[in-house]
Amino acid sequence: MKARINHQIKAPELRVITAEGENLGVISTDKALAEAKARGFDLIEISPNAVPPVAKIMDYGKYQYDEKKKEKVAKARTQISELKSVQVKIGTGEHDLELKAKKASEWLAEGNRVKVDLYLVGRSKFMDLNFLKERLERILKLITVEYKIAQEPVKGPKGLTVYLEKK
């Protein structure tokens, strides 16, 4: 939303603040505009939903610059987490499990979600569910980073799947 400035402001009264942070109190819009003009700045509506609306006397270009700067900092702070996937089979060897667990640990440390698939082929699809969960636990025990299970193991058409997130 674009801030209203000077004559775009429709409210009859405003709470006015100067660029230095000095509070001028609640005054009429015309008086606030005259004060801004006298100081050589613009009157910018900062908080239109407040009662009465809050306006600031300052340079509009500086205000826009500050807003863009705040937006950029906020955007940099947001972390985009991806869904990474690790796939193991019932007969996957210990060394391979360690390598996959190490990779999953790195991903969790970066803040990504990790999907661990126990891929089932042929007759293994019909094995006891507790046995399959135990096989899935083999890789989960090797993950070094603290994690929480975002979604309990779910049996799907391809096998057993569990989602992990960093604590």
Look at residue 166 and give its three-state secondary structure.
strand
In a domain, residue 1? The reply is no
Q: Which domain holds residue 113?
A: 83-166
Return d(Cα 106, Cα 109) in angstroms, integer: 5
Q: What is the pTM of this model?
A: 0.53
Cα–Cα distance, 116 to 32 (Å, whole number): 62
Check which CATH number belongs to the domain holding 142 and give it.
3.30.110.10
Residues 153 and 131 in one domain: yes
Last residue of a domain, one of 60, 77, 94: 77
Reading the chain (167 residues) residue by residue, the pLDDT tens digits are 678 888 888 888 999 998 888 888 899 989 999 988 998 899 999 888 888 899 999 999 998 999 899 989 888 777 677 889 999 998 889 999 999 999 999 999 888 899 999 998 888 888 888 888 888 888 899 998 888 888 888 888 888 999 998 88
Residue 139 and residue 89 share a domain:
yes
Report the C-alpha gap between 22 and 41 in whole angstroms. 15
